[in-house]
Structure 1
Amino acid sequence: MIKKESILTLHFFDYGEAFTGSDGNMRYRMMKVEHEVEEEKKEAKLLVTVWPGPYAYDHTEEEKKQSREFAFSEEGKSAAVDWLNEEYEKSYT
């Protein structure tokens, strides 16, 4: 089970890096993405992707990956962890 405390703080994502991890055979990746919602205004989201191991994100076919976006907030981070655990229970146990 993935715990919220095991995910780095939201401040980490401001540097443009992805956070990766695994739980059993499930691999996951989180990163901050920004979408333009109005001219000169962007909305930050937390993009979370899961895929089956053993390979890293860059070495896994796109069709094996499943992604979902969450609010870029503590609540969004909690929802992302809940989704990761649901995906693990549904597809990787």
Structure 2
Amino acid sequence: MITKIGVPFKGLAGDGFSGSYKGMRFFMKTYDKENITVYVYPEPYSFEHTKEELKETITFPYTEEGVDQCINWLNEKYEKDKEKWDEALNSSWE
């Protein structure tokens, strides 16, 4: 389960925050200090090296409650697409 611990609220306005959980990678960032944009994409590559068509995105308000919504959505995405993330976790770098 992904938790809010370690997610730097103010840091989302800087470099953003990335992480992974059992084959599912994610990246959060605010570009306008009004919304948090959250991306999910499969292992094994970094955000920059993952094809755009493999990324899914959603936005939430740039508030503490918005961060909670991000975390809840990430956990829901993991559960909903668990087979996809399991496959990604076991994929090769080729």
Shorter-chain TM-score range: 0.7 to 0.9
1:1-93 correspondence runs (5 A): 1-8=1-8, 10-14=9-13, 16-34=14-32, 44-93=34-83
Q: Give 5+ residue unaligned stretches, structure 1.
A: 35-42
Q: Could you list the per-position Cα deviations for residues 24-53 of structure 1 after superposition, in whole angstroms to 9, with x for gaps in the alignment?
A: 00000000121xxxxxxxx61100000010
RMSD: 1.2
Whole-angstrom CA distance in 2 between matches of 1:3 and 1:73 = 16
Whole-angstrom CA distance in 1 between matches of 2:25 and 2:82 = 10
Which has the larger strand fraction? 1
Q: Give 5+ residue unaligned stretches, structure 2.
A: 84-94
Whole-angstrom CA distance in 2 between matches of 1:29 and 1:52 = 11
Shift of 1:13: 2.1
Q: One-letter code of the match for 2:46?
A: A
Question: What is the count of residue pairs matched by the alignment?
Answer: 83
